[in-house]
Structure 1
Amino acid sequence: MSHSNPTSTERFKLLLVSIIAAMLIATAMEVFIGVGGSTRIEILSGWFSILFPLLGNLIFPVLYFVGLIFGSYQVSGKEMWWLDLGLVVAIAGLGYAVAEAIVFRERKAKNRDDERARKALHIASNLATCLLIWIFGIRTTSIFVLLLTCTEILLIHLIASGIKVPGMKEWVENVGREGEIPGEGALYNALGVLFALGLLRDHPAAAIAVIIILAMGDGLATFMGSSYGRHKLPWNESKTFEGTVGFAAGAMGAFMVLPTVGTLAIVLLSSIIESLPLKVNDNIVLPVAASLMYYLVL
Structure 2
Amino acid sequence: MASTIFSLSITVKSNSIFKSGSSLFFSNSAPPPYSSYFLNRFKFGQQLEGKLRRRLRRQLTSSAAMFSENPVISDFIATALSGGIALSLLKIWEETAKRSLFDQKLNRKLVHVTIGLAFMLCWPMFSSGRQGAAIAALIPSVNIIRMLLLGLGIWKHDATVKSMSRFGDHRELLKGPLYYASTITLACVIYWRTSPIAIAAICNLCAGDGLADIVGRRFGSHKLPYNRDKSIVGSIAMAMAGFLASIGYMHYFSSFGYVQESPEMVLGFFIVSLAAALIESHPLSTELDDNLTVPLASVLVGSFVL
Alignment pair present for 1:218 and 2:209: yes
Q: Which aligned pairs between 1:73-88 and structure 2 lie closer than 5 A? A: none
Residues 217 and 251 in structure 1, CA contact (< 8 A), matched pair in contact too? yes
Q: Distance in 2 between matches of 1:164 and 1:202?
A: 33
Residues 18-37 of structure 1, C-alpha deviations (whole Å, 9 max, x = no match): xxxxxxxxxxxxxxxxxxxx
Residues 112 and 206 in structure 2, CA contact (< 8 A), matched pair in contact too? yes
Letter of the 1:261 counterpart: L
Deviating more after overlay: 263-272 vs 138-147: 138-147
Residues 255 and 263 in structure 1, CA contact (< 8 A), matched pair in contact too? yes
Question: Gaps (5+ residues) in structure 1?
Answer: 1-111
Letter of the 2:229 counterpart: S
> CA offset at residue 212 of structure 1?
1.2
Q: Distance in 2 between matches of 1:289 and 1:138?
A: 26
Give me the CA root mean square deviation: 2.7
Deviating more after overlay: 177-186 vs 247-256: 177-186
Q: Distance in 2 between matches of 1:151 and 1:265?
A: 32
Residues 209-239 of structure 1, C-alpha deviations (whole Å, 9 max, x = no match): 3211211111110111110011111111111
- Choose which of 274, 291, 298 in structure 2 pairs with 1:268: 274
Q: Distance in 2 between matches of 1:127 and 1:158?
A: 24
Question: Gaps (5+ residues) in structure 2?
Answer: 1-101, 251-260
Letter of the 2:219 counterpart: Y
Q: Which aligned pairs between 1:236-275 and structure 2 lie closer than 5 A? A: 236-253=227-244, 254-256=246-248, 257=250, 259-275=265-281
Q: TM-score, normalised by structure 2?
A: 0.53
* Larger fraction in helix: 2
Distance verdict in 2 for CA 1:250–1:244, change over 3 Å: same
Alignment pair present for 1:151 and 2:142: yes
Which residue is equivalent to 2:115? Answer: 125
Q: Distance in 1 between matches of 2:143 and 2:194?
A: 26
Identity within the alignment, %: 30
- Choose which of 148, 156, 161 in structure 2 pairs with 1:172: 161
Q: Secondary structure in 2 aligned to 1:191?
A: helix
Distance verdict in 2 for CA 1:215–1:138, change over 3 Å: farther
Residues 192 and 287 in structure 1, CA contact (< 8 A), matched pair in contact too? yes
Q: TM-score, normalised by structure 1?
A: 0.54
> CA offset at residue 132 of structure 1?
1.9
> CA offset at residue 193 of structure 1?
1.9
- Choose which of 281, 289, 292 in structure 2 pairs with 1:284: 292
Q: Secondary structure in 2 aligned to 1:177?
A: coil
Q: Distance in 1 between matches of 2:149 and 2:111?
A: 22
Q: Which aligned pairs between 1:1-298 and structure 2 lie closer than 5 A? A: 114-136=104-126, 139=130, 142-144=133-135, 146-159=137-150, 161-165=152-156, 168-178=157-167, 181=171, 183-184=173-174, 185-201=176-192, 203-253=194-244, 254-256=246-248, 257=250, 259-278=265-284, 279-298=287-306
Q: Secondary structure in 2 aligned to 1:181?
A: helix
Q: Answer 1 or 2: higher relative contact order, Cα 8 Å, separation at least 6.
A: 1
> CA offset at residue 245 of structure 1?
1.0
